Amino acid sequence: MKISVVVISYNQRAFIERLTTQLLDQDFAATDYEIVIVECCSNDGTPDWLADFRDARVVALPLGYKCNRSHGRNRGIEAARGEIVIMIDGDHTIQRAFLSVHWRAHAKLQCAIVGKSDFVDHPEYRALNAYLNGGGAAKLPLEAPLPGRYCLTPNCSVPKRVLVAIGLFDEAFDKWGGEDLDLGLRIEDADVPIFAEPNALALHHHHRPIRSFLRTSGSTVAMVFRSS
C-alpha cells in the first residue's frame, strides 16, 4: 500500500464526516491508500457512525479512552500499512488531488513534506489568520529545506520507516501543540530533509482567539525546550 492517512477524532463528527468524504473522493487509486481514523472516546456519535461505515478504505481504530494528540497519532501510525503516512487534522478540508500531490512530492528522495494549512477567512480572526497563514514555510523559498521547527503536522507526510526510526511522537506532550515541533527537530537530526509543498493545500476551519493562541504558543515553546 502506498499511503496511510492518519486522522485523530475527538468530538468533531461533522468535521470528520466531511473530511472522510473528501478523502474517499481522491484522484488516487482506491486500492493504494487507507484512512486510519483514531477515535478517542468521542461522545458526539462518532463511534457509532464509524462502526456503521462500509468502505474498506476506512480503518476505524477506537481507543475507548481519551488521549493526547501524540498518543492518538502514534496508535494510528503503528496501525498504518502505507509506505507514506499523511497526517491531516480532522477540522480541515482538502482538494481531490491532495493525496496525489503528497505522493509525488516523495518520488525523488526520502523526505518529510509539509503541506499548506491555511485558515479560512473569518471577519473576527482575519488579522491573526493572515499572520498565521504567512508564517513558517511561507517565509522561505519553495526549494529550500525547512528547519525542523517548521515541521507542522496538521498537514504533513513522512515515510513510515522514518517515523518508526526516530521513535514516533513524544507522548509526554499532553497539551495542545509542541509534539510536531519536537518531531520535526528529530527528523532534522536524522538528516531527513523537510520540504514545503504548497500545492498540498488544506483549509483549516477551527479559529482561536488571539489570547488562546498566545497562551498555547507560550506553553508549546516551554515544553519543547524542556524536552530538548
CB atoms within 10 A of CB 100: 17
Does residue 115 carry a pLDDT above 50? yes
Whole-number Å distance between alpha carbons of 144 and 58 = 35
CATH of 3-227, one of 3.90.550.10, 3.20.20.140, 3.30.420.40, 3.30.700.30: 3.90.550.10
d(CA 164, CA 85): 11
* 228 vs 180, residue with greater confidence: 180
pLDDT at 120: 63
Looking at residues 149-173, what average pLDDT do you find?
95
Higher-confidence residue of 211 and 102: namely 102
How confident is the prediction for the chain on average, in pLDDT?
A: 86
Q: Of 50-64, 96-110, 136-150, 204-218, give the lowest mean pLDDT range.
A: 204-218
Q: What is the pLDDT of residue 144?
A: 81
Task: Return the pLDDT at 101.
Answer: 98
Contact 145, 92 (CB under 8 A): no
Question: Measured over all CA atoms, what is the biggest interatomic distance in the chain, rounded to whole angstroms?
Answer: 45
Using the predicted structure, report yes or no on whether residue 222 has a pLDDT greater than 50.
no
pLDDT at 135: 56
Range with lowest mean pLDDT among 52-56, 129-133, 220-224: 220-224
pLDDT, residue 141, reads: 67
pLDDT of residue 138: 65
Bigger pLDDT: 130 or 15?
15
| CA–CA distances in Å: residue 176 to residues 24, 71, 145, 218 | 28, 12, 26, 11
With a cut of 70, say whether residue 226 has pLDDT above it.
no
Q: Check pLDDT > 90 for residue 118.
A: no
Segment 173-218, tens digit of pLDDT: 987 678 999 999 999 999 999 999 999 999 987 645 445 544 555 4
Whole-number pLDDT of residue 100: 98
